[in-house]
Amino acid sequence: MTELPRADLTQDEGGTLRSERFGDVYFSPDDGLAETRHHFLVGNDLAKRLAQLRTAPFVVGELGFGTGLNVLALMAEAEKHPGCRLHIWTCEGFPLARDRFREVQRAAGERWPELAPYAERLADLYPEPYPGQVQLRLGERVTLTIAFGRVLPSLRSAWFEAEAWFLDGFAPSKNPDMWSPEVMLEVARLTKSRGTAATFSVAGAVRQSLEGAGFTWAKALGFGRKKHMLRAKLEAPPTRSVEKPWFTPPEALQPGPVAIIGAGIAGACLAHQLRLAGRKVVLIDREGIASGASGNPGGLVMPRLDKGDSAAARFYRDAFLYASSFYSEHTSEAFDPCGGQMAMDRQRAEAVMGNGLWPPGALAPDDHGIGVAVAGVLRPAVATRQLAQEALRGEVERISETSDGVLLHLTRGQVVEAAGVVVACGAEDELWEETPIAPSLGQIEVFEGPLPERVYTDGQYVAPLKGHLLTGATYAAHQGGRVQASELNRAENKAAAEQLLGTTVGKHIASRASLRATTPDRHPMAGALYDGSRALEAYAGLAKGLRTTYPPAPYRQGVYVLGGLGSRGLVTAPILAAHLTAQMTGGVSPLTEEQAELVHPGRFLIRGIKRGEHPPL
């Protein structure tokens, strides 16, 4: 794939930042912050709108991230409104390299001291750019999603509803692609009805593109030497067909608590993300927190390395990078970012290194495979308890839907009322009847040593764990009955560890067997659940290949699933929890549209219909 180009930024004696490629400045040489506030904050009436208390996040879209100045100004404004939760989505086709970006943020903090704390936080989190989308939590109430890549594909891969837009590409005469009719149609698709947009440009091409997308516009006083600017509102968005209506996201939940069934790592990550989003959580588990595979003493946070570019390759890359950052920030005492090495032959390693997906420095080839800088070992039992905080011991017998939420009926007669419920209870719960989940049995071991410096994987693995040696893991279909460790699996793990280490292992300390929840395609599930009978009726035409207008996905009222995470659950749980939280609250997901389809729970039903099979319900 084509390497992501970098910005060719220069700075003159007066400190003005300029793009050599486009022959234009990033912001006004007079006062860039004042310009930003006038054109985009005032232009979208944000001081008034952010002051309104709300449960859903306020979503702002931006074309042209550049130096991040607009984001800094928006963070400073949001700080004045404690009731505001802010989600920002932005894109950048020619991003600054990380070191250069840090220099720019340091200079911004010196020039505008009121922005210094925000610039420091943004500089700390900004990654070395890579093709795709990255989500950063800039504060308790501010989330930033940056799409690195060309503007039109970035917009087409997104799915959110913005209330305001900052249209801040370089001048239309210098960068016409940023202002095309196709781009504005995508902006309109991603905008709430009567959402607003603002831009410094009053060029005729910009006005025409906005009009063609359903925006009305009006000229307003520009900043400094600019006589005019544009303020726009989406009054009549054009009707557009959806290619895969069966994957349309659900409506956000009504205000109220969210119930989560299952207090493993998936449910715990989700509980944590929902609390950060301002939601109350009722976490329920029949055995208590971290009772299943999440109770293991240790587990790997290692990537899946694909040879080529695909939605799956990007999903597992993004999940790994998100997880290593998430655990480092939120459960640092449970995560050891010791690094890792994955054994593979030279041909495969060259393909992985050449696919262009990974940020510079993330992977390092050597004679034995590929080294992974930010890989590590998580103590999932510790992390799960910290993220979950507390859980109600109980078993859910059934879920009934109401006009504005759900009721959970527990075995002891308890009833929990919630705006929505997420089924995240693993491989063997009866609530999984609607989804094709199968249990897989795995076993790990802990030995006294020897202690490797980092994680080593070659089919199985060895890893350091609090002064001991962690090794595993076996894979076997679960035949039912009691889950318990076996001497046969212990011997298999011991032999594999000694082969990886090239020496004998020390005294055996512990074994632990548990079940993984797996799906037929080995990808996890995260999203709203279909109303099965309505979905079968709505999409029956797919069995005959009929090309017709299909309705949006018919979901159950407030019922979601987070499961089938398999052996990569520690890696995928954090990003899937963030994705579900965005769906339930109306925020911006860290997943692109294509990645969301990859993990959509309804994909198996749709495939079954297309193949003429009775789908799994």
Q: Tell me, which fold does domain 9-240 have in CATH?
A: Rossmann fold (3.40.50)
Distance of CA 474 to the CA centre of its chain: 29
Each residue's pLDDT tens digit, 81-92: 998 999 999 999
To 10 degrees, what angle do helices 265-276 and 380-388 make? 40
Q: Which pLDDT does position 436 carry in this prediction? A: 86
Coil, helix or strand for 92? Answer: strand
How far apart are the C-alpha atoms of 606 and 542, rounded to whole Å?
Answer: 8
Q: What is the phi/psi pair of residue 491, to 5°?
A: -65, -40
Residue 617 has pLDDT above 50, yes or no: no
Average pLDDT estimate for 352-363: 94
Position 567 confidence tier, pLDDT thresholds 50, 70, 90: very high
Residue spans of the domains in the chain: they are 9-240
H helix runs in 473-568, sequence order = 487-501, 532-538
| Amino acid 480: pLDDT | 79
What pLDDT is stored for residue 76 in this prediction?
97
On whether the CB atoms of residues 273 and 437 are closer than 8 A, the answer is: no
* Mean pLDDT, rounded, of the chain: 92
pLDDT higher than 70, residue 315: yes
Query: What is the C-alpha separation between 374 and 454, in angstroms, rounded?
Result: 11
Statement: residue 15 has pLDDT above 70: no
Confidence at 449, pLDDT banded by 50, 70, 90: confident
The reported pLDDT for the residue numbered 547 is: 84
- CB of 230 closer than 8 Å to CB of 191: no
Question: Per-residue pLDDT averaged across 288-307, rounded?
Answer: 94
Q: pLDDT for 539-549, tens place per residue?
A: 999 998 888 88
| Mean pLDDT across 36-57 | 92
Closest by Cα among 606, 613, 599, 596 to 539: 606
pLDDT band of residue 14 (cuts 50, 70, 90) is: low
Residue 539's pLDDT is 95
DSSP state for residue 129 in the 8-state scheme = P
Give the per-residue pLDDT at 469: 97
pTM of the complete model: 0.95
What pLDDT was estimated at residue 431?
Answer: 57
User: What pLDDT shows up at residue 437?
Assistant: 86
**pLDDT for residue 2 is more than 80:** no
More confident position, 3 or 73: 73
Q: Which residues contact 237 (CB under 8 A, 6 or more apart)?
A: 188, 189, 191, 193, 213, 214
Question: E strands along 74-157, which residues?
Answer: 86-92, 132-139, 142-148
As a whole number of angstroms, the distance between CA 375 and CA 397 comes to: 39
Q: What is the mean pLDDT of residues 596-611?
A: 95
pLDDT at residue 216 is higher than 70: yes
Maximal CA-CA distance, the chain: 80
pLDDT at 135 over 90: yes
What is the model's pLDDT at position 545? 87
Residue 365 pLDDT > 70: yes
What was the pLDDT predicted at 13?
A: 62
Backbone angles phi, psi at 135, to 5 degrees: -115, 130
Q: What is the pLDDT of residues 470-527, one digit of tens each?
A: 999 998 888 778 888 999 999 999 999 999 999 999 999 999 999 999 999 999 999 9
Which pLDDT belongs to residue 170? 73
**With pLDDT > 90 as the criterion, what percentage of the chain qualifies?**
81
- Look at residue 330 in the predicted model and tell me its pLDDT: 96
